[in-house]
Amino acid sequence: MIEVREALLALAARHPLQSADATGYLLRSFFESLRRHVRAEQDLLAIFTDLTPPGGTLN
């Protein structure tokens, strides 16, 4: 994530650290891993929701 931050800050300052293709690849990789992370959290939430008794809390 630090690499993404540095690449975007350099790009915004008009001093890119790498080629446009490399930056694009970096961002695609970052967003794909972010999508996997969000999907895993959604799966966990679905599991926890199914475990919660109707109208109650887990004790």
The model's confidence at residue 59, banded by pLDDT at 50, 70 and 90, is: low
**3-class SS of residue 42:** helix
Question: Which band of pLDDT confidence, cut at 50, 70 and 90, is reported for residue 57?
Answer: low
pLDDT over threshold 80, residue 3: yes
**Encoded tokens for 5:** 């931050």
Each residue of 10-43: pLDDT tens digit? Answer: 999 999 999 999 999 999 999 999 999 999 998 8
Q: What is the pLDDT of residue 12?
A: 95
Contacts of residue 27, defined as CB under 8 A and 6 or more positions apart, other chains included, come to: 4, 7
Q: Which of 32-36, 45-49, 52-56 has the highest mean pLDDT?
A: 32-36
Residue 16 φ/ψ region, left for φ over 0, alpha for ψ in the -120 to 50 degree band, beta for the rest:
beta
